[in-house]
Amino acid sequence: MLVQMCRCDHGYDLIAWHQELCETKAGGYRWGKRKGTPKNIEYALADPEWQAAIEEIQRVDAERWLRRHKG
């Protein structure tokens, strides 16, 4: 949904998505006006559970890509 709205893809980069949405206001994004949002994003990025989730998603994505492009 974000990729379609913004016509770009920042993958799992929360900072890049936040900056994109702040600049474009796509989808009515209003979190750019909240002072604590960048710090909260940094906390999320440092969270081992977040990191493990992203690693798992990327692993599954890579496996799907390989299955589709095999042969």
What is the distance, to the nearest Å, from the Cα of residue 29 to the centroid of all Cα atoms in its chain? Answer: 14
Average pLDDT of the chain? 92
Q: How far apart are CA 71 and CA 57, in angstroms?
A: 24
Tokens of 70: 């095999």
Identify the three-state secondary structure at position 61.
helix
Average pLDDT (59-63) is: 96
**Domain total in the chain:** 1
Radius of gyration (C-alpha) of the chain in whole angstroms = 15
In this prediction, residue 63 has a pLDDT band, given cuts at 50, 70 and 90, of: very high
**Per-residue pLDDT at 32:** 81
**Per-residue pLDDT at 59:** 97
User: Which range of residues forms the domain containing residue 25?
Assistant: 2-68
Digit-coded pLDDT (tens) for 15-44: 999 999 999 999 899 888 888 898 999 999
**Per-residue pLDDT at 71:** 62
Asked if 2 and 17 count as a contact pair (C-beta separation under 8 A), the reply is yes
